[in-house]
């Protein structure tokens, strides 16, 4: 398999799918450059090895062709500074101008193409469009993990035109290595911590993880569907009635597979969905009428933290409570700290999926876990056990 390290890029034109989908403010200034920074090592590696780099990305969700606020030209200056080279720009990702600049590109030079999604063919996975992009280069590198679960022209279809000259960039490689370390080559005990609002969004993850983990910890709003399935009283807590049978089936499957399923024993209940609500700590299956559980309680924090601190592999997705409200953030904070402690003792920990990533960043623990995934939706589909088109296109 080709890699950035073993491939000879000298004299080659290399088209790289990056994820430059960064937030811009009203003045078109970048407010968070994490994704651009993440792509730098891949770009520099190709340049150092004598390749010329053609970068392509999407930005936002343009509906009808070009739109100023979604133009990638707004990031040229920042990108040039980060790379230490004047990045050239093509106003359209295909067509004569892009073709001409690409043709003249010398080793070490960099061209950024305008937003791929100004063409509806991109998200449709149009083959003719992918072929035009492919025509600009000799080699294809995919480094956009965030869109790896999409079968778009630039993320998957284009790979067909480079049967022998395609590979992952470092961002993709690192994401795949980390998820592999967790799902395939995990050291035991392996603990998955799942939270978030609803069972419905996580049921495929639960099912895929049950035959891999030793411990499955369930917190967040989704815990109450499980507690109700076990006969508990959950008051006004978030419950998905139509998933009670599904929760029962998961509980049974966990028993059969001898997985320790940890459902919270206590909760912080509130008399309304508000940070200033009246609160009480009670048994999670004994919530008074009119009250709702918005966080896991102190006893659960202790039990869960002990399990986590004794784990060798940890996967975390989803907050333990309504962590956006400070009075219901303790469960999430303490679980994040326990994961950081376990990591300090040598465990491998992966945090993936929108809100848990936001939580580790908020509590400044991102550098105290082994890996924070950059791809929300892509990571979730991976944990669900699905094959990602962007990954398959390179591996095929
Ligand atoms: P998800 O996107 O499914 O991971 O859900 C994340 C959301 O779940 C966050 O916005 C939390 O506020 C919310 N959440 C966590 N615990 C609870 C709870 N006990 N009741 C209601 N919402 C919750």
The confidence score (pLDDT) of residue 201 equals: 85
The confidence score (pLDDT) of residue 356 equals: 87
User: How far apart, in whole angstroms, are the C-alpha atoms of residue 54 and residue 141?
Assistant: 10
User: How far apart, in whole angstroms, are the C-alpha atoms of residue 76 and residue 65?
Assistant: 20
Shortest-distance atom of ligand 1 to CA 201:
3
User: How far apart, in whole angstroms, are the C-alpha atoms of residue 240 and residue 71?
Assistant: 41
Token output for 27: 């003045």
Ligand 1 centroid distance, CA of 322 (Å): 5
- Per residue in 171-206, pLDDT (tens digit) is 999 999 999 999 999 999 999 999 999 888 899 999
DSSP class of 66: -
The confidence score (pLDDT) of residue 353 equals: 77
Alpha helices in 184-262 (DSSP H): 203-210, 223-229, 244-256
The confidence score (pLDDT) of residue 375 equals: 80
Q: Which CATH number fits domain 13-168: 2.40.50.420, 1.10.287.1770, 3.40.50.1260, 3.40.720.10?
A: 3.40.50.1260
- In short, whether 159's Cβ falls inside 6 Å of ligand 1 is no
DSSP class of 67: -
Shortest-distance atom of ligand 1 to CA 322:
12
User: How far apart, in whole angstroms, are the C-alpha atoms of residue 221 and residue 208?
Assistant: 20
Token output for 364: 């400044």
User: How far apart, in whole angstroms, are the C-alpha atoms of residue 213 and residue 262?
Assistant: 12
For residue 166, give the nearest of 193, 140, 129 by alpha carbon. Answer: 140
Residues of the chain with confidence (pLDDT) below 70: none
- In short, whether 352's Cβ falls inside 6 Å of ligand 1 is no
Protein residue with least CA distance to atom 10, ligand 1: 322
The confidence score (pLDDT) of residue 355 equals: 85
The confidence score (pLDDT) of residue 374 equals: 78
The confidence score (pLDDT) of residue 376 equals: 80
| pTM for the model | 0.90
The confidence score (pLDDT) of residue 358 equals: 86
Tokens 């990305």 identify what position?
Answer: 57
Q: In 18-87, where do the E strands start and end?
A: 52-56
The confidence score (pLDDT) of residue 377 equals: 87
The active-site residue out of 198, 283, 302, 309 is: 198
CA angle 250, 254, 259 (to 5 degrees): 145
Question: Quick check: do 13-168 and 176-383 share a fold?
Answer: yes
CA distances from 355 to 52, 324, 351 (A): 37, 10, 10
Token output for 201: 């969004």
- Domain locations in the chain as residue ranges: 13-168, 176-383
Report residue 331 CA to chain centroid gap.
22
Is 229:254 a contact under the CB 8 Å cutoff? no
Using DSSP's 3-state secondary structure scheme, residue 316 falls into strand
- Per residue in 27-62, pLDDT (tens digit) is 999 999 989 999 999 999 999 999 999 999 999 999
- Specify whether domain 176-383 bears CATH 3.30.70.100: no
Ligand 1 centroid distance, CA of 254 (Å): 23
Shortest-distance atom of ligand 1 to CA 224:
19
């Amino acid at each position: 398999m080709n890699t950035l390290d073993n491939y000879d890029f000298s004299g080659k034109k290399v088209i790289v799918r990056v994820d430059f989908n960064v937030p811009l403010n009203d003045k078109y200034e970048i407010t968070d450059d994490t994704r651009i920074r993440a792509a730098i090592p891949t770009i520099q590696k190709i340049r150092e090895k004598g390749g010329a780099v053609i970068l392509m990305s999407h930005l936002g969700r343009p509906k009808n062709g070009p739109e100023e606020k979604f133009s990638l030209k707004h990031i040229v200056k920042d990108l040039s500074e980060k790379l230490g080279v004047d990045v050239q720009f093509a106003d359209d990702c295909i067509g004569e101008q892009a073709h001409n600049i690409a043709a003249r590109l010398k080793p070490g030079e960099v061209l950024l193409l305008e937003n791929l999604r100004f063409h509806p063919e991109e998200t449709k996975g149009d083959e003719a469009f992918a072929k035009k992009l492919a025509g600009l280069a000799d080699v294809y590198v995919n480094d956009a993990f965030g869109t790896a679960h999409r079968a778009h022209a630039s993320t998957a279809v284009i790979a067909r035109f480079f049967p022998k000259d395609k590979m992952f960039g470092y961002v993709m490689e690192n994401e795949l290595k980390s998820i592999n370390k967790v799902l395939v080559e995990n050291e035991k005990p392996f603990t998955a911590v799942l939270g978030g609002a609803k069972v419905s969004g996580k049921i495929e993850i639960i099912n895929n993880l049950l035959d891999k983990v030793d411990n499955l910890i369930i917190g967040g709003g989704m815990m109450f569907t499980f507690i109700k399935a076990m006969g508990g009283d959950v008051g006004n807590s978030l419950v998905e009635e139509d998933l009670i049978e599904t929760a029962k089936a998961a509980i049974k499957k966990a028993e059969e597979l001898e997985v320790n399923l940890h459902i919270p024993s206590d909760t912080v209940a509130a008399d309304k969905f508000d940070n200033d609500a009246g609160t009480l700590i009670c048994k999670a299956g004994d919530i008074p009428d009119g009250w709702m559980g918005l966080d896991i309680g102190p006893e659960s924090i202790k039990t869960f933290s002990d399990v986590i601190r004794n784990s060798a592999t940890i996967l975390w997705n989803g907050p333990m409570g309504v962590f956006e409200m400070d009075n219901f953030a303790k469960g999430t904070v303490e679980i994040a700290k326990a994961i950081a402690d376990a990591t300090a003792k040598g465990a491998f920990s992966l945090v993936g999926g929108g809100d848990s990533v936001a939580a580790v960043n908020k509590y400044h623990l991102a550098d105290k876990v082994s890996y924070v995934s950059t791809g929300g939706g892509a990571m979730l589909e991976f944990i669900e056990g699905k094959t990602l088109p962007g990954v398959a296109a390179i591996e095929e």
